[in-house]
Each structure stands twice: as structure tokens, then as C-alpha cells.
Chains A and B, each alone.
Chain A
Amino acid sequence: MAEPMTPEAAWEAVQLARHQDRPQSLDYVAHALPDFLELSGDRLHGDDKAVVGGFATLGTHHIVLIGHQKGHTLKERQERSFGMSRPEGYRKAMRLARLGEKFGLPVVTLVDTPGAYPGKDAEEGGQAGAIARSIETFAGLMVPTVTVIIGEGGSGGALALALADRVLMLENSIYSVISPEGCAALVWRDAAEASRAAAALRVGARGLFELGLVDKVIPEPPGGAHTDHRAMAERVMAEVRLAVEELLRLDARDRLRLRHERYLKMGSYTVVDSR
């Protein structure tokens, strides 16, 4: 079994994953998807700016791209709720994914969120159901799906966009069932123990790769992804393109079956003879 990172190393990944200048979905668009055409709205209630999406061209393929967008400046971060989606964000994602499904376009998601938006209106508007339906929608797509955890993969709010045929993760990204601070506050009863919690939860990319929970770790430039947006964007989209092309070679039914099998196998348990 993989050895956990030290708390110091785990915390460094957490800090890099949350770095204010870390490339976000629209930075990947700006540097590697020049013909991106943004679409808006969930056709039910509103347009959640914590989630962006639209069409793009990747090599010879048109794709649907959906991603969290935290924002870089304080103003943008407030407009985008720091990348924390409300139900309308997940419903927008579902709508765009179904559009990809209808026209045979592979669906690529970029995940970067502290989690779903924790607010009264979001809850009353069906936050939980929207996340569940989003998971269900992505599970059922007949087109190839690829997700990249580009920053923070914050629990259910991340998973809502992260169920895919291929799950890639940037070297200094994190993906976790609970924030290290939240975990520390609960079990150590001290949020200051967040670095220990980060290590115990194995939030880092390499550890999750070794546990078989992600397919590939994408290296970052020395110092982290924020030091070179262009290089990072080109590298990520090259990896996504490889994954999409590999998936397009599979029969659609096989691809769907393999995706279902992948998720039905998820878990770590033992089977004992109960007789």
C-alpha cells in the first residue's frame, strides 16, 4: 500500500492546489482552446458563473467543455462564488453534457472547486438532488468523457462533474471527500491540524493514483502550475486529447459498460465467508 505523504508535503499540495494564480478553466481555454464558444444557463432558473461551459475544438474533434471557475480577482471570485456551484450550475453542466450526447461530442470536464455552494437558497433549490442527477447524467453518457482535476476536487461538488471514463489529475491538485480543515475540526477538534488531516486523507495526486482512484498524474512545471499557464494548458489538453482519441476507438456500448464497471468496483472492503 502507498505510504502517505508527510503532513508538510500534503499541505504544500493543498496550498498549490488553492493558489490564487493557479490556472483555472478559462485559462486553459485562453491558452489551448482558441475557438471556445461559451454557452449559458440551465434553462430552468439561472446562469451559475461558478461553472462555465461550451464548445471547443481539440485537435480534430469538437468537444463540450465544462469546468468550475473560481475567479482570480476578488470581484470575479465573488461573482463566481469562489467556484462553488449552486444547483443551477450542476443543471447547466447536465444540459451541456446532454448536448454533447445528442451531437456525439466528447465531454471534457475541468474540476476546481472547494465544494458545492453551502447556502439556504441552494439547499432549498435542490442542491443534493442536482448533484445526484449530475452524477447520474455523467454516468449514462454514450460519448467519451474525460475529467481533469486541475485544482481542488472538493467532495460532492467536485464529483458532480468528475465521473468519467478517464480521470486525470494535476500533480499538485487535491481531491478529497472533505476539506482537510473540516476533517481536522471534526476528528481532531482543531482546524489547525489540517496538514495532518490532509496527509491522513491522502488528498494528493500521487497517493490517489497509487490507490487506483485516478488514471494518470499530469506533471506540473517546477514551482507549480501557476508559474506557466501556457505550458500547463498545452500539456493538459494534449493529455485530454490522447485520452479522448483512445476512448473514441472503443465501441460506445463497451465504453459505457466499462465506465459502469469501473464505478461499481470502487471501494475497499473484504468479503468473508459468512456461512
Chain B
Amino acid sequence: MPRSSCAGGMAKYVTIQVTRREPPPGAQPPGEHCKKCNAPLAEGELERSLRVCPHCGYHYPLPAHERVAQLADKGTVSFVAEEVQPVDPLAFVDLRAYPDRLAEAKFETGLSEAFLAALCEISGMPAALGVLDFRFLGGSMGSVVGERFHRLAKAAVEQRRPLVVVAGSGGARMQEGLFSLMQMAKTVVAAQMLVEARLPYVTILTHPTTGGVFASFATIADIIIAEPGAVMSFAGPRIIEQTTREKLPPGFGSSESQLAHGQVDMVVDRRDLKDRLVRCLSFLRGRADG
């Protein structure tokens, strides 16, 4: 029955199925044992290793503020675009009202929206850094994510800084309807400002990066870095299996598979990420002596 299966093909929050296999994003790291390899963990060990299991290398979700702390030099961070706040343009009510979902996400994450934007230095290089936090409504891209991205890109161009964006998203913010879809266009046009200004744009794709985020600003960067074991797809695995009845191989959509299919430049362990990012940025700056 093509109609119903086509319709299913549009789902954006397909990552629910993907993430179910993983610890829920934002859940407290296990106190004693790695959820992946079951090795014992000393207290605070996971936090000290950037939430990567020191035994098996499993990458746990990293909250946005910890990501900024990982990549930015200490004491150089100023957050921007916090003034951009969500509204409820469609008065969207499903089982719950959208404003209630927003309020809950704010309470649970301590973030005011899914995109955290900062100006900072990365190993002494001034940069503009944006981070999507999957804990905030699945890192979904609503109008605030788009506008904060836009303001960050604009600041990068005005101050001649490279733009670095860490993605992690279930896709569109359904509750904002077509406004959400339009953020794909908006972020792509905003990223074009970096192209015109000949400034570096690097994205780091984390688990999961799907739907409208994967098919917009995440994949048009000069360099695309993926974290190990992250899953990336436009349509979700369940939708693909339902629509095409294809059996998907293990590791479908994983960083390693994306690398093999030529869709990302490199897969980099989080513990090496800052060093690798700095190397990328220094090449993109163009001069060996600067």
C-alpha cells in the first residue's frame, strides 16, 4: 500500500527507534558500570573522560555546556543569541500543548532552547561555536534553532571567525509546522554567508543526526567530522524497512558506514576531537605562518 508507506516515509522523529537501543540522552551516566561494556567505572570517571567509556570507547551523549567546555578554551566563552526565545506559532496542541513541552525541556536541561551559541577561542583561535543538545526536544530544529544559527553565522562573518557547529538532532520541530521546515532553508542560506566571506565552516555530527538537520546545515560544511558510533540518516531505519521492505545491515547509517560511503571526512574519537578540529581550522585559515 504505497500511500500509507509513503506517508510514513516523512516521519522526522524516527530516531526514537534508534535511540531506544542507547541510554536515554541526558540520563545520568551509570554510577558504577558502563551500560555498553559493563566494565566498572570509578566515581566521576566518565565525566573526566568527556563521557566516553575508558574501557570500550562508547560515546555517551554530551550535554551542550559540556561540549562547549570541551572545545572552547577556558575563560574565553561568551554566549550569544540567548535573547531569541520560542513562541507557539500554530497554537499546537496534541496530547499536550507545545508551551508545556518547551517548559519541561527547559526545566530538565537548564537550556532555554536546543541550540547553544557561543563566541570563544579554540586553542587560541577565535571561533563561533554552536551546539545542538539532543536532550532539548530531541535537538529538533524550530525557529529558535534557525535564528540562533543565523545570528551566530552573522557574528562569525562580522568578526572574521570560523564557524563550528556540533549537531545532534531528531530532525524537525513538528510543533512549529512549516516554520520548522523553513529552518532548513534558513540555516543553509546563513551558512552561505561563510562561503561568501571565505571563512571556514566545520560540522561535528554526533548521535543521532537525522532528518532536516542532516539534510541542511550539517552536510554543507567544508569539513564534516563524525563521532564514533553515531547514527546518521535522513529517513529513519524503521521507515526504510517499512517502505521498501529492505533489510538493513548492522551499522546502517553509522559514522563508520557514512565514512565508507563518502559522506563524512573523518570519524574522530571525542577525546581527540579538539586536537583534530584545531588541525582542520588551521589548514582552512590558509596561511602556514598565521
Contact = CB atoms under 8 A, between A and B. Distances in A.
Interface of A: 1, 4, 18, 77, 82, 84, 114-120, 122-129, 131-133, 135-136, 139-140, 154-156, 159-160, 163, 175-183, 185-188, 191, 194, 197, 200-203, 208, 211, 213, 260, 263-264, 266-274
Contact of A114 (B6, B186, B252): B6
A119 B246 contact: yes
Contacts of B91: 1, 4
B7 A179 contact: yes
Q: Is the interface on chain B under 10, 10 to 19, 20 to 34, or 35 or more residues?
A: 35 or more
Given A115-B9, A156-B212, A266-B185, A213 B192 contact: no
Query: SS class of chain B's interface: helix, strand, loop or mixed?
Result: helix
A192 B14 CA distance: 18
Given A139-B192, A179-B7, A119 B12 contact: no
Interface in B239-265: 239-240, 243-244, 246, 248, 252-253, 257, 261-263
B153 to A, nearest CB: 10
Given A118-B235, A181-B8, 13 more contacts: A114-B7, A119-B244, A128-B234, A129-B263, A159-B185, A177-B12, A181-B7, A185-B11, A191-B4, A211-B179, A260-B192, A270-B85, A274-B83
Candidate in B91, B94, B183 with the most chain A CB atoms within 10 angstroms: B94
Interface string B213-225: 0111111100000
Contacts of B240: 118-120, 123
Contact of B235 (A18, A123, A180): A123
Interface stretch (B19-27, B141-149, B276-284): B141-149
Given A131-B215, A132-B219, A266 B182 contact: yes
Contact of B143 (A201, A263, A268): A268
B32 interface: no
Interface in B1-39: 2-4, 6-13, 16
Given A129-B263, A200-B90, A263-B189, A123 B179 contact: no
